[in-house]
Amino acid sequence: MKARECRELTVQELEIRMEELYRQLFNLRTQLTLGQLENPKKIKEVKRDIARVKTILKEKREAGKDKV
């Protein structure tokens, strides 16, 4: 997921996306433990996506506070 795509989403959509990413990370870690993970680089990609979504969520929430 690109940052540009994340910025187009609402705060609620970003929160839902973050929950999905955490579930995906859990599943990938489980697969890694069981030796079933084919692409270990996927874990790193998901972690970066989580960080990206968290950053954009924080920016949007701070921007919302300035308006109030």
Taking 80 as the threshold, does the pLDDT of residue 60 lie above it? Answer: yes
CA distance 66 to 68: 6
**1-16 pLDDT, tens per residue?**
788 888 899 999 999 9
Q: What is the mean pLDDT of residues 28-57?
A: 96
Domain assignment of residue 57, given as a range: 3-67
Number of domains in the chain: 1
> How do residues 43-58 score in pLDDT, each as one tens digit?
999 999 999 999 999 9
Q: Decide if pLDDT at 17 tops 70.
A: yes
Query: How much is the pLDDT for 2?
Result: 83
Helical ranges in the chain per DSSP H: 3-7, 11-34, 41-67
CATH code, domain with 42: 1.10.287.310
